[in-house]
Amino acid sequence: MTNLQFFQATRISDRMTGIVGITGENMFLIEGDDRAALIDTGIGIGDLSDFISSLSTKPLSVIVTHGHLDHAGGAGLFTDVYMSEKDASVFLAHQDQDIKKSYVRMMLRDRAGLLAPADFVPPRAAAFHPLHVGDTFDLGKITLEICPGAGHTPGMVTVLLPEERKLLLGDACNPFTFLFDPDSSSVEAYREVLEELAAITAGRYDEVLLSHGPFINSAGMIDSVIQVCDDIMAGQTDDLPFKFLHQASPDYAIAKAVTAKAGVFSRVDGGLGNIVYNKKRIWRST
């Protein structure tokens, strides 16, 4: 490996470190008095386990928010790993090495050629521990509460850190939420999940954590994305065409017009959240 940095760490608080993987995916290390937890494992390039050991020596549990390759790709490096059983098929589909290589080429461009085969983590063979909404992880004076988040994938979870007053939304709800994939839910069903998440976490956080782009974003994210759902269901959207890797369809649309700066998409109208969705999967029954 030459001229590439696999991981970069940034201290978010006394208890939390944000980690950015080589293709720009965010991970989070949370340290309690007794144990540590890693949320997501990145694309699976480079030895994330060794990197985590340089940051914390506490016993470690790993929580995978969903089965996509850029979040579960490094799961094979760890022993105590939790993921929703609802994402088992998503995880298996994302073990396809051609998909992974296409994603890496898209993200790294010319730098992808600097990677050696040994830099790629082998797919995880061991089973995951099951992960359910309502589960808690007591790390010692800091707690992780597993909250709803399904939509982006069937088993997607979010994580509330009440002592930190932060809610990790990850890929579940953000400025460019992906809801177009065949594994994603309808907009109607997704909106119901967001309403449930908002009710469970109301008044318990001040900031949200995201899996791409800046680590921290506004606490208004959930309300903003719920409004985008409402606009989609009311037919009040801009519907810009969208394609991603091998996935393209005239039915895929960006709900609100965006502009891109330094690889980060933001709404032209100044709104906070957004959704890329399938125009044939707005309603639960379709």
Q: How confident is the model at residue 98 (pLDDT cuts 50, 70, 90)?
A: confident
Q: Please give the average per-residue pLDDT across 158-172, as a whole number.
A: 98
Look-up: residue for tokens 């051609």? 98
pLDDT at 61 over 70: yes
The 10 Å Cβ neighbour count of residue 153 is: 27
> Which two three-digit tokens encode residue 169?
């939304």
Buried b / exposed e over 3-19, threshold 16 CB at 10 Å, is: eeebbeeeebeebbbbb
- Contacts of 97 by beta carbon, 8 Å cutoff, 6+ apart: none
Q: Please give the average per-residue pLDDT across 172-194, as a whole number.
A: 97
- Contacts of 144 by beta carbon, 8 Å cutoff, 6+ apart: 30, 37, 39, 63, 136, 137, 159, 160, 161
Distance CA 93, CA 264 (A): 27
pLDDT of residue 264: 75
Rg (CA), the chain: 18
Q: How confident is the model at residue 4 (pLDDT cuts 50, 70, 90)?
A: confident
**DSSP code of 109?**
G
If DSSP codes are grouped into helix, strand and coil, which group holds residue 69? Answer: helix
Alpha helices (runs of H) in the chain, residue ranges in sequence order: 48-55, 69-72, 88-93, 97-108, 187-201, 221-234
Question: Domains in the chain, start-ordered, CATH in brackets?
Answer: 7-278 (3.60.15.10)
Q: Record the pTM.
A: 0.96
Query: What is the pLDDT of the chain when averaged over all its residues?
Result: 95
pLDDT at 90 over 60: yes
pLDDT of residue 248: 74
Smallest CA-to-CA distance from 154 within 225, 226, 84 is with 84
Residue 11: what are its φ and ψ, rounded to 5°?
-75, 120
pLDDT per residue as tens digits for the range 13-50:
999 999 999 999 999 999 999 999 999 999 999 999 99
pLDDT per residue as tens digits for the range 241-282:
998 866 778 999 999 999 987 667 889 999 999 999 999 999
Distance CA 80, CA 75 (A): 9
pLDDT at 285 over 90: no
